[in-house]
Amino acid sequence: MTSEIPRPLRPLVARGRDEPHRVASPLELFFDLCFVVAIAQAGVQLAHAVAEGHAREGVLSYAMQFFAIWWAWMNFSWFASAYDNDDVLYRVVTLVQISGVLVLAAGVSRAFEHHDYLVVWLGYVIMRLAMATQWLRAARATGGPERTMALRYAGGVLLCMVGWTGLVVLPEPARGWVFLVMVIAELSVPRYAEKDFPTPWHPHHISERYGLFTIIVLGETIAAATVAVKSGVDEHDALGELLPIAAGGLLIVFAAWWIYFVVPIHGHLRSNRQAFLWGYGHYLIFASAATIGAGLEVAVTEAIGKAHISTLAASTAVTVPTALYLLSVWVLHARHYKVGVAQQLVLPVSALLVICCTFLGSWAVLAAGLVSALTVAVGTTLTALTAGAESRAEATAPVG
């Protein structure tokens, strides 16, 4: 559909769940790239907060702002999988959503440094108003239970948008509770809206969308680490101190990519129950992948003597998100395709070993990278051995 010249208006009706050759559109790819701008801004602020010794406050602020970014991205992705008609109005409303995330990105630093969420809230409002508009269009073009579902989505999005004003108007001590309440409310909207009629999302398209966003987040992680290493080498001539961090960081990111894409996850996405857990769980995958980049920045800052934290704390900033990523991918992806205890234990054991690397001082990041690379090697070997054993068993099985 996206290869055609877009019409000004066409009914926003559901696309086929089994539509062949369904792939991400250029608009969706552009959407993802703009969202990563906000993630990059949040990562920079997190790295700065951790390096200055304010890890607790930085992590909490990062979790809040990353949720806003991720949730808006996820809502659009699932909606587009079901209702993308690629008319002019759909494109314009999507560009408005992109504008909203750029406004949100502009407010990230003030939210971190001054706990001023006005600009972040404004960006979120722009995104959510656009999302509600899309759902109202879908409701107008449909009837029966599907129309009810679309109206529930629109109403839920608008009500939650109003609820988030608490971050702006309430005193600072109450904002943590506002965040918790609103997260629960936001996560409940899809379950309530789809209780009678599920959206006809496309399994292969959804898995591709999540995979592409994972690639972009990992790419941003590499970019952040590269900039930090380059700055350290140029300004402090610390190539020897930074080489282990750079090598370990690359191994971690390469392994993260390999582990995520080694299984065809779209085959697992068959029911709404599976999809909700898988979709929601990606908050941990995306957040931990992005946090690895911030952690590498912290490790570089500490190695050149500009951080106000210990080597142990800087190592933790890399190893903890790496371990969380390994565990999250195992829970959501890998465990569904692993055969036998040995294959199932690879990622959990690797996560534990990565945590143990924290205590290796200046070699912690390199050690975590080597463990990550070894994880890929062991997993690939075990899979090959299992496949070979199955092939030999089939070859020697009696016919008839």
In a shared domain, residues 186 and 215: no
In a shared domain, residues 118 and 248: no
Q: How buried is 26 (Cβ within 10 angstroms: 0-12 exposed, 13-18 middle, 19+ buried)?
A: exposed
Answer yes or no: are the C-beta atoms of 228 and 301 closer than 8 Å: yes
Q: Among 148, 34, 145, 29, which Cα is nearest to 80's?
A: 29
Instruction: Extract the tokens encoding 355.
Output: 């945590």
Measured between alpha carbons, how far is 109 from 45 in angstroms, rounded to an integer? 6
Residue 21 domain-assigned (yes or no): no
Measured between alpha carbons, how far is 209 from 24 in angstroms, rounded to an integer? 6
Looking at 193, 218, 252, which one is the last position of a domain? 193
Residue 51 domain-assigned (yes or no): yes
Answer yes or no: are the C-beta atoms of 77 and 203 closer than 8 Å: no
In a shared domain, residues 305 and 378: yes
Q: According to the model, what pLDDT value does residue 176 have?
A: 87
In a shared domain, residues 233 and 338: yes
In a shared domain, residues 129 and 76: yes
Reading the chain (400 residues) residue by residue, the pLDDT tens digits are 445 667 777 888 888 878 888 888 999 999 999 888 889 889 999 999 999 989 888 998 899 889 999 999 999 999 999 998 888 999 999 999 999 999 999 999 898 888 899 999 999 999 999 999 999 999 999 989 999 999 999 999 999 999 999 999 999 889 889 999 999 999 999 999 998 898 888 888 888 999 999 999 999 899 888 888 888 888 777 788 889 999 999 999 999 999 998 877 666 676 666 778 888 899 999 999 999 999 999 999 998 888 889 999 999 999 999 999 999 999 887 777 777 788 888 899 999 999 999 999 989 999 999 999 999 999 888 877 765 655 555 556 565 4
Looking at 143, 172, 193, which one is the last position of a domain? 193
In a shared domain, residues 183 and 207: no
Q: With b meaning 16 or more CB within 10 Å and e meaning fewer, what string describes 262-300?
A: bbebbebbeebeebeebbeebbbbbbbbbbbbbbbbbbb
Residue 291 domain-assigned (yes or no): yes
Report the Cα 104 to chain-centroid distance in Å: 17
Read off the DSSP letter of residue 271.
S
Measured between alpha carbons, how far is 355 from 316 in angstroms, rounded to an integer? 8
Task: Give how many domains the chain has, as a whole number.
Answer: 2
Query: φ, ψ for residue 24 (rounded to 5)?
Result: -65, 140
Residue 14 domain-assigned (yes or no): no
Residue 166 domain-assigned (yes or no): yes
In a shared domain, residues 210 and 188: no
Q: Where are the beta strands (DSSP E) in the chain?
A: none
Instruction: Extract the tokens encoding 140.
Output: 């107008």
In a shared domain, residues 174 and 280: no
Measured between alpha carbons, how far is 96 from 100 in angstroms, rounded to an integer? 6
Rg of the Cα atoms in the chain:
22
Looking at 144, 170, 193, which one is the last position of a domain? 193
Measured between alpha carbons, how far is 186 from 64 in angstroms, rounded to an integer? 13
Q: Cα torsion for 351, 353, 356, 358, to the nearest 10°?
A: -60
In a shared domain, residues 189 and 212: no
Q: Which residue shows structure tokens 């898995």?
A: 207
Helix runs in 164-202, H state only: 166-169, 172-193
Q: Which residue shows structure tokens 């070979």?
A: 388
Angle of the 239-261 helix axis to the 272-303 helix axis, nearest 10: 170
In a shared domain, residues 282 and 165: no
Q: How buried is 319 (Cβ within 10 angstroms: 0-12 exposed, 13-18 middle, 19+ buried)?
A: buried
For residue 27, give every residue at least 6 positions away whose Cβ sits within 8 Å of its Cβ, in sequence order, or none: 2, 86, 91, 94
Answer yes or no: are the C-beta atoms of 379 and 259 closer than 8 Å: yes
In a shared domain, residues 300 and 211: yes
Residue 19 domain-assigned (yes or no): no
CATH number for the domain spanning 281: value is: 1.20.1410
For residue 171, give every residue at least 6 positions away whose Cβ sits within 8 Å of its Cβ, in sequence order, or none: none
Domain that holds residue 314: 203-393
Residue 9 domain-assigned (yes or no): no
Q: According to the model, what pLDDT value does residue 18 have?
A: 80
For residue 238, give every residue at least 6 positions away whose Cβ sits within 8 Å of its Cβ, in sequence order, or none: 232, 303, 304
Measured between alpha carbons, how far is 372 from 352 in angstroms, rounded to an integer? 11
In a shared domain, residues 171 and 104: yes
Measured between alpha carbons, how far is 312 from 293 in angstroms, rounded to an integer? 17
Residue 378 domain-assigned (yes or no): yes
